[in-house]
Structure 1
Amino acid sequence: MNGSPRTPWRTSSYSDAGGECVQIAELADDTIAIRDSKTPDAPHLHFPRTQLTTWLGTLKRS
């Protein structure tokens, strides 16, 4: 992980109740980490906040 979590991991409000969860955390190095809750020790995606906003906007248009 690039830095320690500054905030606890949060589950997306869009995740279903069946355990298919995407979680995010703000890290101490001012990036946002994204992980799959089923495999929390697997590698995480890391984004600067502005790039995450751009990436999510692209996904919404797809």
Structure 2
Amino acid sequence: MQFDNGVTASTITGSEWIKSSASVGQGNCVELAKLPNGAVAVRNSRYPDGPALVYTREEMTAFLIGAKSDEFDHLMTS
């Protein structure tokens, strides 16, 4: 099954939405779900029925490598 960017997250069925164990449960989390075709959907936990962005496995791999290498840390400073 193919899902496009901006798909309503609640229409993604058969996939488990997960969030980081570092989440403190205040509803401000990013959740991810592995899709049947290997892609990954991303949604805002505050809006579980809102839109989801869909990324290929390769795109997510590149992002995770960058995050683990601290490439985006400067976005979190004032």
Under TM normalisation by the shorter chain, which class is it? 0.7 to 0.9
> For the aligned residues, what is the CA RMSD?
2.3
Contact 1:5 1:25 in 2 (8 A): no
- Tell me the number of residue pairs that the alignment of Structure 1 and Structure 2 aligns: 62
| Aligned residue number for residue 21 of structure 1 | 29
Q: Specify every segment of 5 or more residues in structure 2 that has no aligned partner in the other structure, as ranges.
A: 5-11, 73-78
Contact 1:35 1:43 in 2 (8 A): yes
C-alpha separation in 2, matches of 1:43 and 1:35: 7
C-alpha separation in 2, matches of 1:14 and 1:29: 27
| Aligned residue number for residue 53 of structure 2 | 45
Query: TM-score scaled to structure 1, two decimals?
Result: 0.73
Q: Rg: which structure is higher?
A: 2
Q: Specify every segment of 5 or more residues in structure 1 that has no aligned partner in the other structure, as ranges.
A: none
Percent same amino acid among aligned pairs? 31
* Compared CA separation, residues 5 and 53, structure 1 to 2 (3 A): farther
Deviates more, 1:43-52 or 1:12-21: 12-21
